[in-house]
Structure 1
Amino acid sequence: MSSLDRWRPLAQDGLLAGVMAVLVSVIVFTTPSAGALDLVAVLAGSLALVAWRRAPLVPLLVSTACMLAVAAHVQPGPVAAYPVMVAVFAAVRVGHRLAAALAVVVFLSGVLAVNLPGDDGTFQAIQDTGLLVGWFVAAGVVATVTRHRQAYLEEVEQRAAEAERTREEAALRRAGEERLRIARELHDSLTHSISIIKVQAGVAVHVARKRGEDVPPALLAIQEASGDAIRELRATLEVLRDTGGSDGSDGEAQASGLDRLDDLVERARSTGLPATVTISGTRRELPADVDRAAYRIVQEALTNVSRHAGGAAATVCIAYADEELVVQVDDDGKADPDAPPVPGTGLLGMRERVAALGGRLRAEPRPEGGFTVRAELPLGEPS
């Protein structure tokens, strides 16, 4: 809440009290018997209304006493009841009905007692008092309606907040259940299949070595890649099963990062892909999400080179700067700038990762031939 919002109610209350003080003072001083003490009483009874929101019993007491004194001495008519009506409204509005009723009884009794002794004015006094009774009743009714309306609005707001909280909890629960279902499916299907691939590759490597034969590099690459796949899949499953609100950064950071770049490139070489790595700038610890995204971008780019640019060579460049990390993978394949490939799931995933970090991604054929993937990932403040 701004300072203006905090001071606005006080300014409004002050304006109300000031207008009331001016109005009652003008009318009171048109009577011949008004004096300085009457002015003081009018000002005190009116200006006390400044506190009608924060301490309604205070203006109720002060206004009733002061305006009763003015009515008894000056007898200005119904105008003396104006500040008392506002104070009664304020008291009933916050639930002080008994105090407000006592103030009304005291004020009206005093006014009636002062005006009744004169025989000529008895009927007029009773008539004025009856009018004041109607005004006070109206003030009490309006205050009661306002109180009930405010309670209703607060209840509606509370119900809306409760409904929103319930919807959020239900959405989180459904998301957690879906994550557990995905984790079970991955564990029951993908983990089993990859485990079989790893075991079969290991058996083949063992048999080849036992026979004294050279183990094919592709077979070794399959064995190593399947082991890495199982390790990363298990880390992913741990993240999916962590339904307590984790974003998965810890599990996935343990699974992959640029510290495993050499293994990644070596595995690509073992499949027959000529690949080189160039690192520039001062290496430093990276934020977990940036480190993970950089690894995944290189991994996906090398996979695409192996699948779509057979016989091409790849160059991986990692550039550390103060404010960003640049990851670029180029190949010298036969990609045509005039016929860019249709983006698949891999490129879409890269774009989503880079966009989530607020970075920029360029993936397109190079003018001199081949394909380039360049990601600029912001680092924030140096760690």
Structure 2
Amino acid sequence: MGTPAASLAKARRRFEGADWVRWGVLAVPALFAMPSARPWTWPLIALVLVLSVPALWLTRESRPRWLMPATMIAVVAAAGALWILQPGSWTATTMFGATFYTLRVSGRVGAAISLAVASATILAWSIIYDLDWLNAVAFFAVLVVMVLLAANRRSRAERLEQTELALARAQTASEEHARAAALAERARIARELHDVLAHSLAGLALNLQGARLLLVRDGASEESLAQIERAQKLATDGLAEARKAVAALREDAVPVERSVSDLLAAYRLDTGSRADLVIEGEPRELDAAVGTTLVRAVQEALANSRKHAGGPALDVTVAFNNDEVDLTIIDHQGRRPPEPPSPGYGLRGMGERVALVNGKLECGPGEDGWRIHLAVPA
């Protein structure tokens, strides 16, 4: 058995597929009228054939909405006139069929006009050709049947639309319920990670920092200090990863200033040196590529300071201006560093990242250390 959605789609295809016969109902009788057509009826035949062409693609939802009803009313009038002028043809079928489709696709005004035109045509035909009252009533009965059939089709179409809407609402509600349950579970896991793992790693990193300072004071061996430093680095790296996991689980975009602050906190724990952050302007949410560029620049600068300068004191400034964000990183080595023979891979990668977001990068030795400045569009 198929799903409700599949069954509904099949019913709609079958329902809409029947509408393709309307062109045949409108055009074929006019074609049959051509062999016996008289000179004054050819314009009406041509008009019916031309007006029946849009029925191949026009629907109730076609824009503008008046186009389909207006076309069908014109077909009713033209086919009715052709039926009166050429009574032996089948163009009455076209008139009744066009009336049926007008009642299906139009509002009250269009339906009233179509019924009035069709009724006037039947009355005129009955008077001109001296039709007895029984046959005249039969024609009007056919018109009533068209009204009932159109009402039935419109009712069925409305039921299909209501069923589709109800099914869509039920599916949306089910998806929202599942999403809410998933988000609640992710939030619970994020809380556990933050309250247990992240706090434990932060405490471990601080204790390892204290242990390293004690070993330095007591003159411990280089091997012991190296082991403590490695353990401290693992703790700080694990803390950073735990925070990233919490942010990912909560689907929250971590602000740039928060990410930079976390990096500097890890740098302080790792090196024992000062690392200050200054925020200028009003922080705001940035494009993901821009935020990633700023955070990666700070990461690269901190890695270079550890590697090449032994972890000196740092000053980092993030300035939120009107149309750009400026990032300045200065490490204080106590002397002017020499010019490097060529930029390393880290600085090259930083420059490529900045170029991808149409930013500008300046880096080089300052008075007492290395200075990196970049500006990226906000």
C-alpha deviations, 1:223-247, integer Å up to 9, x for none? 222122223322332333335799x
What are the Cα deviations for residues 161-189 of structure 1, in whole angstroms up to 9, with x where unaligned? 33333333333322322222112101221
1:62 aligned to 2:70? no
Whole-Å Cα distance in 1 between the matches of residues 97 and 78 of structure 2?
14
Paired with 1:226 and 1:256, the residues of 2 have a C-alpha distance of 22
Q: Does 1:20 align with 2:29?
A: yes
User: Aligned residue for 2:41?
Assistant: 38
Task: Call closer, same or farther: CA 1:62–1:228 in 2, change over 3 Å.
Answer: closer
CA distance in 2, matches of 1:163, 1:144: 28
SS in 1 for 2:33: helix
TM-score by length of 1: 0.53
2:124 is matched with which residue: 99, 110, 119?
A: 110
Q: Does 1:213 align with 2:220?
A: yes
Change (3 A) 1:86 1:56: farther
In the alignment, the residues of structure 1 paired with residue 192 and residue 208 of structure 2 have an alpha-carbon distance, to the nearest angstrom, of 24
Q: Percent identity?
A: 19
Instruction: Identify which of 130, 135, 145 aligns with 2:137.
Output: 130
**Distance in 2 between the 1:191 and 1:72 partners?**
90
Taking the aligned partners of 1:83 and 1:257, their CA distance within structure 2 comes to 78
Q: Residue 99 of structure 1: CA displacement?
A: 2.0
CA distance in 2, matches of 1:177, 1:69: 70
Quick one: which amino acid aligns to residue 201 of structure 2?
I
Query: Which whole-Å CA distance do the structure 1 matches of 2:146 and 2:247 have between them?
Result: 66
| In the alignment, structure 1 residue 48 sits paired with structure 2 residue 51 | yes
Whether the aligned pair in 2 keeps the contact of 1:56 and 1:90 (CA below 8 Å) is no
Say if 2:33 and 2:91, in contact at 8 Å, map to a contact too: yes
**Residue identity opposite 2:88 in structure 1:** P
Q: Which amino acid aligns with 1:172?
A: R
**1:144 corresponds to 2:151:** yes
On the 8 A contact 1:57/1:91 being kept in 2, the answer is yes
Query: Superposed, which structure 2 residues align to 1:1-383 within 5 Å?
Result: 17-26=26-35, 29=36, 35-52=38-55, 53=58, 55-76=67-88, 79-94=90-105, 95=107, 96-116=110-130, 122=131, 125-214=132-221, 216=224, 217-243=226-252, 284=349
SS at match of 1:75: coil
CA distance in 1, matches of 2:142, 2:41: 23
The structural deviation recorded for 1:46 is 4.7
CA distance in 2, matches of 1:172, 1:144: 42
Deviates further, 83-92 or 167-176 = 167-176
Report Cα offsets for 1:127-146 as digits up to 9, x if no partner.
43233223222222222222
C-alpha change, 1:180 and 1:115, in structure 2 (3 Å) is same
* Consecutive unaligned residues in structure 1, runs of 5 or more: 1-7, 117-121, 267-278, 289-383
Cα distance in 2 for partners of 1:66, 1:235 equals 73
Decide whether the 8 Å contact of 1:89 with 1:139 is kept in 2.
yes
TM-score (norm 2): 0.54
Unaligned runs of 5+ in 2: 1-16, 60-66, 256-287, 308-343, 354-378
Alpha-carbon spacing, 1:9–1:287, altered in 2? closer, same or farther (3 Å): farther
Q: Distance in 2 between matches of 1:164 and 1:244?
A: 29
On the 8 A contact 1:191/1:233 being kept in 2, the answer is yes
The amino acid that maps onto 1:241 is R
CA contact (8 A) 1:16 1:49 kept: no
CA distance in 1, matches of 2:83, 2:158: 36
RMSD over equivalenced CA pairs, Å: 4.4
How far residue 286 of structure 1 moved from its aligned partner, in angstroms, is: 12
Could you tell me how far apart the structure 1 residues matched to 2:253 and 2:102 are? 49
